[in-house]
Structure 1
Amino acid sequence: MALYKSSSETIIKHSRWLSTQVQRTKVTLFDRLQQVITTSHESPIVDCKQWSKFREDLLKPPLAVKEIALDSTILQYCISSNDLPLGKSYQKYLRESESNPSLGFVGKYFQLLYNNMHHLTHDDKKDILTMYDNLRVAHPLLDASTAECCILGLSLTERWKESFELLEMLKVSCTGSVACYSAIAQAAFYNSCPEIGWKYLNEMVTLERNPKSAVYITYVDYCTRTFTDRDVCVAEIGKLFNFFAEHSLAPFKDAIDYIQVTFKKLGWTGVPTVVDKKGVCQTCGHQLSPLNLSAEDYSMLLNAVVEKALVGNDVYHRTTPVELKKFQNFINRTKPYDVVVDGLNVAYKNRQVSNNPAQKVATLVRQFVSQNKIVLILGRKHMMQWNANAMKYIKNNSYLFLTDDLSSDDLCLLYATFASGPQTQFVSSDLMRQHKFLLQDPALKKLFKHWQMASQRFPVFRGSQLHITPPLNYLPVAQSSENHWHIPYQQNDAPLTDTYEPPAYWLCLHKLGKRRN
């Protein structure tokens, strides 16, 4: 395949990266690559003779690129510009010149092929296996980075199951990346081995790795080519939706778009929609499931959080047994509360609006008192040095417990909230990630997140006014009811952040002829 003239936009996009690879001279590696890329579109970009001359130029001053890094640097350019033909051209040159490719080159070449998996030929896949076999002869043990790249390459071939060994090798020194887990799961579904695919999907989400959209799309493809009965196919794809729900996942829009098109072929219709604050779908009017825990689930979570996270070794690293006992006695004497507030978290929120921390807390207390709420404010002893009038109002209108300055505010906050009962809410901007991670059981982590979404309220400023967000009252995960599915999703460019804000985007799926009135 001939490579055609690249756009100036692509050239500009990668110039900054390439410029860092060489010395800052009038002639850079990027300049030379640009000259190659912008050759006539009537002929291949480079042949072996051109590559040989090109390498000679790069190795000589003023660039003087080190030969050991040259091959992988060229491949990194191909990856950055997603230029498969150029990368294949250079690999062909190395093969025909009988050069021994470095680990870095092989790894980056596999990465380039993986990024362009839908454009590979049979010969490309044969090259992967040949290069991999030669690599393993020379290097029986691979470093983690090379092993991950080899997983990407092998996943594109008939020997994809050899990736399992590489993943185990990699685990010795680190945790597998999203890319390598996704590659194995995708290969499993592509090769009609769903049990293996689900095994690696479940393993990666346990490790807090979010699968790539391509994995979901490949699973949907597996279902449509395997199950000819429409209802059976829908039920099998429903296993993916249940996976979303079980792990509180919101897939990216590209996967949702593919699901929407697929379901249309299966006799369903799908519409992007929004869900209002009450949990009502604005397309079909369906009320999403309430976000609450059963008494059994709450008791299980309470015991786990209090015993393992709060009263375990972690709390004694940051407070004393005497202070902890004093705090527990105070809670037992004054509970229950309607709201528990992280005083310092609220006080130091948005300092550019107001530099009066005591007044912020007093304002919050005033809001809750007007609603006849019983409030507990948790803080530290240095708060008594704040504005005397504001602190007097806080003490007279809420319960106030101040710990030593080295204590753990968030642990005290969780303890007080749980001890007060399932109806108690708490106010803090802290997402409590570190405490969720103390719970090793995935089921407990899920319960903790659902409890947190239902119980936490965030302090926010709108202009100079302090507001407290209401807690979520519906379950913001994929769910089904009477031939309906509602699936949250996120835009393709959305950052992967842990948030407790309700999803902004939903897909409403319903079976034709079964739509709710």
Structure 2
Amino acid sequence: MVKITSSPGTSIYSALASAAFRNGKPDIAWKALTNIVLRKLIPKEYVYLSHLQYCQLEDAKFFNNRIEEMFHFWIKHSIIPYDKIIRTYSNTAIKYGWSTDRITISKKTGNCKHCGYFLSKMTFSEDEFQELAKFVMDRVIIGSDIYNKTNPKELLNFKTFIENNKPFDVVIDGLNLTYMKYKSAPKLLLLINVVEHFKSRGKKVLVLTRKHQRKLSEFKRVERNAFVFLIDNLSADDPYILYATMACGMNTMFVSSDLMRQHKYSLQDADLQQKFKKWQFSHQYFIKFSATGIRIQDPFIYLPIVQKNDNCWHIPCVTEDLRETLKEFYEFSDKWYCLKYNEKKMY
């Protein structure tokens, strides 16, 4: 009897997917590709070349349907393809009557100069938000192991505090910002600057942080400009951040550089995970460091992933030196491809 001591890696699954596409067995290929991305691995480039060969087995209508299957796969798994890969798809699509162009789309305007369409805005109806908030509360906060990392009395006090003081405009992960110490700056300077940034813009700010920070003399500057809730030094703070933000309503934002991966996965449903990520994209401020200083990255207005607008596909891409394409990519790419098919030419 053979004992399997490890799971197949990307090379084995890529070889399987590639062979399946070449031999007209798409169901096997998609299953292998899914196994790759669920393991947060990156398919080998030759898988996409084999898929393109498969797309070209029949007429233009077949090509159109098959190539869009890959684009929908990228949507489902939030994949941002490499420039080289989508360029190959683009060049092949031209042979079948598509009009394509490599473009720049501003995250502020969302407008494509090639086709004239705008990227999809990230909007939630009140019902959609309430449904997502309920699942996050039930599965991430109540259904998690939060009681192993905090105590029921503290959580009850926190909920009462939120109910008595909400709504807040911005919820700040104080501990996260404290550990993001910039160069030789004082320990709390980043947190203080971020709090004062939002306060100066008329925002009602809540800072969640640990009790030990109150011992720092400069913490008084935080308390002067924001509501503060101090949790126990051993408590998990992420569930508190999510609870406070969602309990205050769909217009409340939060500041943290935590990607909240484990909480997204706790939802245990692909559709809910996509909705959570969409909510996160549109509600989370990130702190970014550069050679010139610090900037606060605003939440996105437009969806930063693969999407379809009428008969136009807009596909962001990254260069090969970025290895985050199949992980959690929280940047708005400035490199996009617009692929537009002409139905009259194709059919």
Same fold (TM over 0.5): yes
Shift of 1:405: 0.8
Residues 1:470 and 2:298 are matched in the alignment: yes
Contact 1:264/1:270 (<8 A) preserved: yes
Letter in 2 for 1:197: A
Given candidates 410, 413, 419, the residue that maps to 2:247 is: 419
Given candidates 243, 266, 269, the residue that maps to 1:441 is: 269
Given candidates 280, 301, 305, the residue that maps to 1:452 is: 280
The alpha-carbon distance between structure 1 residues 454 and 198, as it changes in their structure 2 partners (threshold 3 A), is same
Given candidates 149, 153, 162, the residue that maps to 1:331 is: 162
Letter in 2 for 1:175: S
Shift of 1:464: 7.4
Greater share of residues in helix: 1
Residues 1:235 and 2:65 are matched in the alignment: yes
| Alignment correspondent of 1:507 | 337
Shift of 1:290: 0.7
Partner deviation per Cα, 1:309-328 (whole Å, 9 max, x = no partner): 21234111111111111111
Gap runs ≥5 in structure 1 = 1-139, 145-172
Residues 1:376 and 2:240 are matched in the alignment: no
Letter in 2 for 1:238: E
Partner deviation per Cα, 1:377-430 (whole Å, 9 max, x = no partner): 10111121122xx43343233211011111112221111111111211110111
Contact 1:488/1:507 (<8 A) preserved: yes
Given candidates 87, 92, 104, the residue that maps to 1:257 is: 87
Shift of 1:224: 0.9
Given candidates 29, 33, 50, the residue that maps to 1:218 is: 50
For 2:220 and 2:339, locate their aligned partners in 1 and report how far apart those are by CA, in whole Å: 55
For 2:291 and 2:6, locate their aligned partners in 1 and report how far apart those are by CA, in whole Å: 45
Residues 1:432 and 2:260 are matched in the alignment: yes
Partner deviation per Cα, 1:450-486 (whole Å, 9 max, x = no partner): 1111111012345675432111111112122233111
Task: For residue 112 of structure 2, give the secondary structure of its aligned residue in structure 1.
Answer: coil
Task: For residue 145 of structure 2, give the secondary structure of its aligned residue in structure 1.
Answer: helix
Shift of 1:282: 4.4
| Alignment correspondent of 1:479 | 307
The alpha-carbon distance between structure 1 residues 411 and 464, as it changes in their structure 2 partners (threshold 3 A), is farther
Letter in 2 for 1:374: K
Count how many residue pairs are aligned between Structure 1 and Structure 2. Answer: 341
| Alignment correspondent of 1:131 | none
For 1:361 and 1:224, locate their aligned partners in 2 and report how far apart those are by CA, in whole Å: 55
Query: Identity across aligned pairs (percent)?
Result: 38
| Alignment correspondent of 1:270 | 100
For 2:343 and 2:272, locate their aligned partners in 1 and report how far apart those are by CA, in whole Å: 39
For 2:315 and 2:191, locate their aligned partners in 1 and report how far apart those are by CA, in whole Å: 38
Gap runs ≥5 in structure 2 = none
Letter in 1 for 2:299: P
Contact 1:213/1:251 (<8 A) preserved: no
For 1:282 and 1:174, locate their aligned partners in 2 and report how far apart those are by CA, in whole Å: 48
For 1:236 and 1:401, locate their aligned partners in 2 and report how far apart those are by CA, in whole Å: 53
Partner deviation per Cα, 1:319-347 (whole Å, 9 max, x = no partner): 11111111111112111111100112222
Contact 2:81/2:316 (<8 A) preserved: yes
Higher RCO (CA 8 Å, separation ≥ 6 residues): 2
Letter in 2 for 1:473: I
Task: For residue 243 of structure 1, give the secondary structure of its aligned residue in structure 2.
Answer: helix
Task: For residue 90 of structure 2, give the secondary structure of its aligned residue in structure 1.
Answer: helix
Partner deviation per Cα, 1:198-247 (whole Å, 9 max, x = no partner): 2333344334344333222212211211x21x244213211211111121
Given candidates 185, 191, 205, the residue that maps to 2:23 is: 191
Contact 1:224/1:233 (<8 A) preserved: yes
Partner deviation per Cα, 1:105-131 (whole Å, 9 max, x = no partner): xxxxxxxxxxxxxxxxxxxxxxxxxxx
Residues 1:180 and 2:12 are matched in the alignment: yes
Greater share of residues in strand: 2
Partner deviation per Cα, 1:2-46 (whole Å, 9 max, x = no partner): xxxxxxxxxxxxxxxxxxxxxxxxxxxxxxxxxxxxxxxxxxxxx
